Amino acid sequence: MRYDLDDLRLFLHIVTEGSITAGAHRMHLSLPSASARVRSLEHHAGVPLLIRGRRGVRPTPAGTTLARHARDVLAQTARLESAVASYTRSPTAPLVLLGGGSAMHRLVPRALVSFLRAHPDVDVTVSESRTPQTVRMLADGAADLGVVLDDETRDCGLHMEPLGDDSLVVIGQAGGILAGRTALTYSEVAEHPLIGLNADSSLRRWIERHLVPHAPVVRYRTTVANLNVLVALAAAGVGLAVVPRPVIDPDQPLEVCALQDPWARRHHLLAWGVRDHAASTAVASLAEHLRHAALFDSASGSTPADPRTRRLLHDG
């Protein structure tokens, strides 16, 4: 049997999210199109792959087996493309990869580790960049790939594809004031002392740009320069913090609560530059490593394992 790689990615997203609707959203597909692809997969496999219920879907034993092997297939595909791509790029011309602060926290480092190990003759220049600047550089041919936010890329004319969830959540000390809560509005969060990033950070600017004119004034106990420190202070009980969900280590003891505000639902997109050169195979390989890194983070626990909780957090 042969399976389409995009169909496998869609199936993994559906299993991870516990919802065909959420999986379709992550692949930028309509619900009918995603459902048709799942039916085609089931027809191809000859057995049901999903159990459909009122609260979402869960994999059958066959579906669980398919998801496990799909992760292996996608990882092997990335390694195969990496091995071939290493012969197509001059080491004197590094690839240029841009991304925001959230992407630079876990996603980009994970992708770089696997890509650079597989490509000893390919260099990568990595820079942190806000989405508007990244889009301009990609459109001007000054960069090869960028990890951008879907909210800031409308009508930019670049080729893009969904990469992963980057929704904002509020975190606090385990057993603290967030215990037992599943969702809060930003106004409710602002009633408590917060820890934030510095005023010139992309996340801080992004949040403040979406606040209504009469939003409550936030009391910041302190502001810091990076997300690692921010999460550590929140875990220690210094205050609450608003962070992108992917930066949270699933093993760290924290209370994590979804933000209900519509602007808190964000997604990372992988954006391609316009320059056409002999490095296109290496660029494609780097893109595949980014996809695999995003998929790994999703499967390894950045998103809660319980399907009902995942849907609550996704739907805000």
Most confident range, picked from 134-143, 268-277, 292-301 = 134-143
Q: Which helix (H) or strand (E) is 7 found in, with range?
A: helix 5-17
pLDDT digits (tens, 9 = 90+) for 22-69: 888 888 889 999 999 999 999 888 899 999 988 889 999 999 999 888
What six digits make up the tokens of 6? 């995009």
Helix axis angle, 280-297 relative to 5-17, nearest 10°? Answer: 20
User: Cα angle vertex 231, ends 175, 208, to 5°?
Assistant: 110
- C-alpha–C-alpha distance, residues 296 and 109, integer Å: 13
Q: What is the mean pLDDT of residues 235-264?
A: 92
Whole-number pLDDT of residue 213 = 81
Torsions phi, psi for 200 (to 5 deg): -95, 5
Helix axis angle, 31-45 relative to 5-17, nearest 10°? Answer: 110
pLDDT tier at 299 (50, 70, 90 boundaries)?
A: low
- C-alpha–C-alpha distance, residues 139 and 161, integer Å: 16
pLDDT tier at 181 (50, 70, 90 boundaries)?
A: very high
Whole-number pLDDT of residue 172 = 96
